[in-house]
Amino acid sequence: MEMNTRLQVEHPITEMITNVDLVEWQLHIANNENLPLEQKDIKVDGHAFEARIYAENPRENFLPQTGKIQLFATSENARLDTGVASGDEISPFYDPMIAKLIVWGENRTEALENLAEALANTHVVGLQTNVSYLHAITQNKDFKQEKISTSLLEKHHKSLVKEAISKEDINIIAGI
């Protein structure tokens, strides 16, 4: 039997729908303390989405981008897990992930609306990102109707990229 003792990158989704801070629980375990709840006591509530914001260009096969983040701002109605801020540099030496944006809703439809709103209010100025591409996914008819498969992005790539031409381009053209 294999055991993975690290948190998965999607752990914010679990935290949002269970209201359990898994990082805090890891610290309890590391200190040989008991956990505050048993598995049977953990309840799932609602739906959550996580969107990973990357410095990459969806129109160029998601080619990683480098440069200074002149401005990074997002919705206050979302959880943001990040290690960067306005003024930081995205270098070629590390993964170009800027942040994870996590939202919750009573159901999938509400959570998806919250994700769309949070992405619409996320601004990264200074380099190309996938924010508009992610927002385009939230507007995709098949994604909204849960007609999801591993080929969804490939199937809709051209239309998603076309819809994604927006604020990143405006920011780059304006030199903001």
For residue range 46-64, list pLDDT tens digits in order: 999 999 999 999 989 999 9
Mean pLDDT of the chain: 90
pLDDT at 159: 87
Over residues 103-116, the pLDDT tens digits come to 999 999 999 999 99
Q: Is 6 a catalytic residue?
A: yes
3-state secondary structure of 9: coil
For the whole model, what pTM was predicted?
0.88
| Residue tagged 């498969």 (tokens) | 149
Residues 6+ apart with CB under 8 A from 12: 48, 50, 79, 81, 100, 102
**Would you give the DSSP letter of residue 20?**
-
DSSP code string of 33-93? PPPSS-GGG----SEEEEEEEESEEGGGTTEE--EE-SEEE--TTSEEEES--TT-EE-TT
Of 1-5, 47-51, 97-101, 131-135, the one with minimum mean pLDDT is 1-5
